[in-house]
Amino acid sequence: MPELPEVETTRRILEPLLLGQRVLRILHQDPTRYRRTGWAEGRRVENLRRRGKFLILGLEGGMEAVVHLGMSGGFRFTPDPHTRLVLSLPGQNLYYTDPRRFGRWWVVRAGEYQEIGLLGRMGPEPLSPGFTLGGFQASLGQTRRRIKEVLLGQEAVAGLGNIYADEALWQSRIHPQRPAHTLDPAEVRRLYRAIRLVLKQAVAAGGSTLMDQSYRQPDGRPGYFQLQHKAYNRTGQPCLRRGCGGQIVRITVGGRGTHLCPRCQPPQP
């Protein structure tokens, strides 16, 4: 958390507030996590885009502020006890909060992401025309890594994390431990469609707010996609696939808690 739907929801809310605004000050006390923020001061925000799980503020003069929300980062319109950075704009402030302190900011010259390695190797955006079935199939066919690990790795497709990887694999009836290269064309097609469907639904619902409340929209509202989860965080509950009769279990894949139904997501096809 936050994953693509939460970051995209944040982007859509902040975009009309930020476009054309001049950054007056960026206040914080952690130059290691929030690097070169002084370079952004005095510059207008020309665009706000998302790349995978990153927010990128395009600034006048060919600069960018790149924000990774980490495990618990987010923006608020009012301060709270976990405010780590204040983005001061004419007439208002935006407050960056991060209880677990894994979030990062970099201000860089546009496109110069050498110190942000993931941005340089990230795969296509799953809701864009650049994410094609043929390209996805080629990526999976080149690796023996387990499919859940491939989805989390960001190279085959950008923006998926633990929640939406579990949901897409459940939708497509694929076991998370299957080696990616063993998926046949029909399975790859199901997974491709499931990724796009799950992410579209999650964006429409404002993302997922879990029990720890670590993600909320900037105005404090929760997301609602957790009400539609079929696998993630449903350990011990009945599988919701019609006619299955199985039960959701939790295993570990690549060090990450992973949720699946062993009856309709068998280890072998």
Q: What CATH code is carried by the domain that includes residue 47?
A: 3.20.190.10
Q: What is the mean pLDDT of residues 56-77?
A: 96
Q: What is the mean pLDDT of residues 219-231?
A: 91
**For residue 71, is it within any domain?**
yes
Residue 243 reports pLDDT greater than 80: yes
Residue 214 reports pLDDT greater than 80: no
pTM of the shown model: 0.95
Identify the bridge partners of residue 75 per DSSP, sorted by sequence position: 96
pLDDT score recorded for residue 163: 96
**For residue 200, is it within any domain?**
yes
CATH number at residue 165: 1.10.8.50
In angstroms, the CA 157 to CA 123 distance is: 5
Instruction: Say whether both 206 and 246 belong to one domain.
Output: yes
- Please report, in range form, the residues annotated as the binding site for DNA: 82, 100
Q: Where are the beta strands (DSSP E) in the chain?
A: 25-28, 34-35, 45-51, 54-59, 63-68, 74-76, 83-89, 92-97, 104-109, 249-253, 256-260
Instruction: Say whether both 87 and 146 belong to one domain.
Output: no
Structural domain of 52: 4-121
* Residue 202 structure tokens: 């999650």
pLDDT score recorded for residue 21: 97
Q: Is 53 a catalytic residue?
A: yes
Instruction: Say whether both 94 and 33 belong to one domain.
Output: yes
Residue 212 reports pLDDT greater than 80: no
Report the domain count for the chain: 2
Q: What angle do CA 171, 247, 244 make, to 5 degrees?
A: 60
**Cβ neighbours, 10 Å, residue 250:** 15
**For residue 127, is it within any domain?**
no
**Percentages (nearest 5) of helix, strand, coil residues in the chain:** 30, 25, 50
Residue carrying structure tokens 């309709």: 264
The residue annotated as part of the active site, out of 2, 5, 99, 124, is: 2
Residue 72 reports pLDDT greater than 80: yes
Q: Is 256 a catalytic residue?
A: yes
Q: Do the Cβ atoms of 152 and 165 come closer than 8 Å?
A: yes
Q: Are strands 34-35 and 104-109 parallel, antiparallel or unpaired?
A: parallel
How sure is the predictor about 1, in pLDDT bands with cuts at 50, 70 and 90? low
**For residue 45, is it within any domain?**
yes
Instruction: Say whether both 208 and 95 belong to one domain.
Output: no
Give residue-wise pLDDT tens across range 115-138: 998 898 999 999 999 999 999 999
Q: Is 2 a catalytic residue?
A: yes
pLDDT score recorded for residue 229: 97
Q: Is 167 a catalytic residue?
A: no
